[in-house]
Amino acid sequence: MAYSGGKDCTLALDRMIRQGHEPVALYTTITKRGINFNHFIRKEVFQEYEASLGIPVIFCETAELHNQEDIYRRLKEAIEKYDAKAVCTGDIYLRGVAFWNRQMARRLDVEWWCPLWNESTDSVVREVLEKGYRLFIKAVKTEYLSEEYLGKEITFELISEFREKGIDICGEKGEYHSIAVDGPIFKKPLPVQFLNTICSKGNATCDIAVRI
């Protein structure tokens, strides 16, 4: 399961488990400094997901977000180790991202499953909230949302506010990124704390660390 810690991949994972599939590992891309691409989550936070979700985490270390060779080599090793039959992603409608994931799965000679594909963002958000997941705003594009939204819990009220602002309520175009900390598939809550805000080139991110 491609896992960034966000709400969409968490819902996709939830659905796959409910359908009777067995998740053998989660994987995410990280920089050489141990930070997740896009969501900017520390490696040690993902290591805590292993205990919170009860699923091993595979790290694809690379200097670039879509460095195909680095990711391919790491996933190939993991597929052979866990005898995985498919790769699953939480894509909703971004065709470029879906195409990249589909091509990678073909190259790895496994199936590609995308359980949220072409669903309305409204139904995706509603389902993940109705199932009882706790989700927080991790990062925002400041042209859409101010830094004040960092650390806010995603609720139906907040989603209504996003709708009024005219942005994609799932943040599918990068308006915001989320982090899931608890819910039905969690064996225990993810023990994290929100730290300082980091701003750079139109993006604002809340640093997150494991709570001791």
**CATH number where 68 lies:** 3.40.50.620
Residue ranges making up the domain that contains 145: 121-210
- Final residue belonging to a domain, choices 113, 131, 158: 113
Q: What does the alpha-carbon distance between residue 178 and residue 136 come to, in Å, rounded to a whole number? A: 5
pLDDT along the chain (212 residues), means of 10: 94 97 94 78 92 95 78 94 95 87 94 95 95 96 94 96 93 91 97 90 90 80
Q: What is the pTM of this model?
A: 0.93
Digit-coded pLDDT (tens) for 85-113: 999 999 998 888 889 899 999 999 999 99
The total number of structural domains that make up the chain: 2
Same domain, 97 and 129: no
Same domain, 47 and 96: yes
Same domain, 157 and 68: no
Q: Which of 144, 145, 133, 154 is nearest to 11 (CA)?
A: 133
Output the pLDDT for position 212.
74
Q: What does the alpha-carbon distance between residue 69 and residue 86 come to, in Å, rounded to a whole number? A: 19
Assess if residue 194 is contained within a domain: yes
Strands (E), the chain: 26-30, 57-61, 86-88, 111-113, 134-141, 176-182, 192-200, 203-210
In the three-class reduction of DSSP (H, G, I as helix; E, B as strand; rest coil), residue 154 is classed as coil
- Final residue belonging to a domain, choices 113, 130, 147: 113
Assess if residue 1 is contained within a domain: no
Same domain, 105 and 126: no
Q: Which of 86, 91, 112, 78 is nearest to 9 (CA)?
A: 91
Same domain, 12 and 91: yes
CA 158 to chain CA centroid, nearest Å: 19
Output the pLDDT for position 67.
76
Assess if residue 170 is contained within a domain: yes
- Final residue belonging to a domain, choices 88, 113, 138: 113
